[in-house]
Structure 1
Amino acid sequence: MNNQFRVILAQKKLNISEVFKNTGIAKTTLYGLYYERTKNPDTSTIMKICRYLEITPNEFLGIGNKVKEA
């Protein structure tokens, strides 16, 4: 599943271990999202990550970030 997890972590200067410690989400799940290997992540997992990172699900998924061309 395409997402902005890797970009957001870089912007916030965080790593997977910090997210794991503060959310309790399994590292395998976090790495799956980081490397975009997870096909259908659980909604509650995405919401927990978004709350921790203080972002919206749209920001996490990269929705609305693209500039429309005329």
Structure 2
Amino acid sequence: MVKCHLSRLMGEKKMKITDVARATGVNRGTITRLYHETAVRVELDTIDRLCQLLDCEVGDLLEHVGE
């Protein structure tokens, strides 16, 4: 399973879903699904934009956890 840490990273920077959507140009629904960890797939461009905005590495945003 892949865990998304977007909500934690956004919380650390006190950002709202709307702020992230506006700053990255990524659809608000996509950000919401990542935030709530209900996304099934994500474009690499979306990951790139989020990492740039949040000043983090892919490994900080996404984590593989074994089950």
How many residues align structurally? 63
Task: Give the share of equivalent positions with the same residue, in percent.
Answer: 24
State the SS of the aligned residue for 1:2: strand
Q: Which has the higher strand share?
A: 2
Alpha-carbon distance in 2 for matches of 1:15, 1:31:
10
Structure 2 residue runs of 5 or longer lacking an equivalent are none
Which protein shows a greater Rg?
1
Aligned residue for 1:37?
Answer: 38
Q: Which has the higher contact order (CA 8 A, sep 6+)?
A: 2
Aligned-residue CA RMSD (Å): 1.3
Q: Distance in 2 between matches of 1:36 and 1:45?
A: 15
The gaps in structure 1 that reach 5 residues or longer are 64-70
| TM-score, with structure 2 as normaliser | 0.86
Q: Deviations over 1:10-67 (max 9, x none)?
A: 111111111111111000000010001111111110111100111100100146xxxx
